[in-house]
Structure 1
């Protein structure tokens, strides 16, 4: 994985071309923007599934000319049931964008200063040099706790249903030294968003999940989005994700997502993610000052703002959003800053570990270039 782009929530090989590492390179430049071709989009999705890289895939596309959805593959091994249209899925690290949005709202309300040390609000929690901004931007130097977890497919079964507290997850990190001095480098660490979740709880006096629900989910009527806590199931229509253990497919749809907590536990749909992305990009969720902050990059962090990936594709189109990966599922939320072109994608992993080639690059080119 490229060092300058975010890593997945965990090291499990999801055997799909897209990951929470972010935007893959595309090839070629569109000569004229005539809108996304549904046939090309469908062919790209089919490339995921027919290659054996994914069992199922679904996408929602808006290109300024039209809006449509497409899907490919099966919802479950041993069944011919198709991937549910607008089915639910684990969004993984896209959760981080929800959490950063809440913290930026609190900043706009004067309840937290981005450049203040985290210990001002949570004394003794982490190194006293680490600021709120550095946590949101992955420049804190905090060791990534998921690097220490048994997340290879066979080992993951040992912790699959375990309940984790955020303090347990944080201790895995704080038992180790900082990876670098705060603010001097960029390195994607899920620990940062465990800290962010704890900050939200301290500042609001309620569970971070409730803050997300009351500040984002309810106002936007994201009825198919939830912060599941210890609930191991995905309620409602959904596709199943798999890994291979001892040469056999293992369904990992049911897990206790507390292992991800505020770094990656949210469940959603492409429709709800689209609604969220539009609201965030159009300034409906943040005040102007915080709206500027969320996509602001630095020399140390040139492709990551505050819970938001910021990229310029090879064809010159600027996009932002976030990717996500959690056992069995990979996802992307991408939009141009003016929201004219958007893509929300979920891919459920297959146990066959095929190679999808340039499928994701084709999608990006067709939608954004």
Structure 2
């Protein structure tokens, strides 16, 4: 799984301790086999609270048998002074929340649509569309040089293709290493911050939010419209994702919504989305994410050639496609999707390659503290018990 380097605050120990959990199942699939899968998944969900130390968690699944929603939250919490705090509010199915790097799947889809329309090529360089913007520190002869090493730097837009941006193999540093994912910046400021950092190795997978900030600028240069307008026109409106938006500078969430908490327990529900931009600005809902990933993998948004390219992980040596990444489960099933982490919110969507079975879960803090809970949840949902 790619590192969750989505715009975020640094991890700190949780200030509260989750104790006995209440789990609520709001819909059960009609078949016995599906009911068993539901029971297995719902047994793992509370671990996001008890072991993952999230105030609350929720999941939504869609497959041919129907839709199912469940949520869990701590019965109560212990605060910083050891006194009981108010029980967390349940997460509701219709709640809006910040989706972090799941934004990247939307951006990649727009870029691949433009490629299908021959308005750009994935082999185009960044320089072709954004001349002069991406240039690393230059040496005395004008060639890209690494600081004190005398070798060519990788962060030169003349050498970086759009394919490299999509697959996180550009070698560009991640601007959120400076901002922590909480400081609002313009796209060009984000690029300048990244270029001031030591670059990664070009051609090698390195997850960097800077790549998708640049893709947002490329979309604007090619179409004359912002990535927001293009994503709304090409994805959000056709799929009727009524709970999905790019908030721009709006720091509040649309109604309905719950509260969001940083890793240290601070309320971070209000957040300036310009801290993430095209790399992680999106606000959405659980039903909208299931609809989007089901439609994408089901072939509703991309032509077959572009969808194959999106799922091709060769450039990133199996780690990442284009705005999607695969996870092979213990039973042999591979699921595709993305995660998103931003201050106060973590979300993960996974789906079968045909898009017919989709799971999205979320917690209202930066990320689950126990990294083993997510793989267990995916296996419980997508692997028949006999194959685990």
Give the TM-score taking structure 1 as reference length: 0.84
1:135 maps to 2:134: no
**Higher normalized contact order (CA 8 Å, seq sep 6+, divided by chain length):** 1
Q: Which is worse superposed, 282-291 or 318-327? A: 282-291
Alignment equivalent of 1:279, drawn from 295, 307, 314: 295
1:329 maps to 2:345: yes
Q: Is the Cα contact below 8 Å between 2:93 and 2:286 reproduced in 1?
A: no
Displacement of 1:310 in angstroms is 1.8
Q: 1:244 to 1:221 in 2, by over 3 A?
A: closer
Q: 1:66 to 1:223 in 2, by over 3 A?
A: closer
After TM superposition, list the pairs within 5 Å mapping 1:179-190 onto structure 2.
179-180=200-201, 182-183=202-203, 185-190=204-209
| Matched residue count | 335
Q: Which residue matches 2:72?
A: 72
Q: Is the Cα contact below 8 Å between 2:243 and 2:284 reproduced in 1?
A: yes
Q: Is the Cα contact below 8 Å between 1:90 and 1:265 reproduced in 2?
A: yes
Displacement of 1:175 in angstroms is 2.4
Alignment equivalent of 1:102, drawn from 110, 130, 138: 110
Alignment equivalent of 2:179, drawn from 149, 155, 164: 149
Instruction: Please give the per-residue CA displacement for 1:45-70, whole angstroms capped at 9, x wherever unaligned.
Output: 22222346111111111344442111
Q: 1:74 to 1:216 in 2, by over 3 A?
A: farther
1:91 maps to 2:110: no
CA distance in 2, matches of 1:14, 1:74: 19
Instruction: Please give the per-residue CA displacement for 1:249-299, whole angstroms capped at 9, x wherever unaligned.
Output: 310111101010000010111100111111111111112221111111116
Q: Which is worse superposed, 269-278 or 38-47? A: 38-47
1:13 maps to 2:27: no
SS of corresponding position for 1:168: helix
Q: 1:290 to 1:331 in 2, by over 3 A?
A: same
Q: Which residue matches 1:40?
A: 40
Q: Which is worse superposed, 108-117 or 308-317? A: 308-317
1:166 maps to 2:196: no
Q: Which residue matches 2:381?
A: 367
Unmatched segments (≥5 aa) in structure 2:
15-31, 77-84, 135-155, 384-388
Q: Is the Cα contact below 8 Å between 2:5 and 2:209 reproduced in 1?
A: no
SS of corresponding position for 1:250: coil
Unmatched segments (≥5 aa) in structure 1:
17-32
Displacement of 1:80 in angstroms is 5.6
Q: Which is worse superposed, 115-124 or 94-103? A: 115-124
SS of corresponding position for 1:349: coil
Q: Is the Cα contact below 8 Å between 1:5 and 1:303 reproduced in 2?
A: no
CA distance in 2, matches of 1:65, 1:243: 36
Q: Which residue matches 1:238?
A: 257
SS of corresponding position for 1:54: coil
CA RMSD of aligned residues (A): 2.5
Q: Which residue matches 1:60?
A: 60
Q: Which is worse superposed, 109-118 or 236-245? A: 236-245
Which structure: larger Rg?
Answer: 2
Give the TM-score taking structure 2 as reference length: 0.80
1:315 maps to 2:313: no
CA distance in 2, matches of 1:257, 1:263: 10
CA distance in 2, matches of 1:110, 1:293: 15
Q: Which is worse superposed, 356-365 or 208-217? A: 356-365
Q: Is the Cα contact below 8 Å between 1:41 and 1:70 reproduced in 2?
A: no
Q: Is the Cα contact below 8 Å between 1:42 and 1:72 reproduced in 2?
A: no
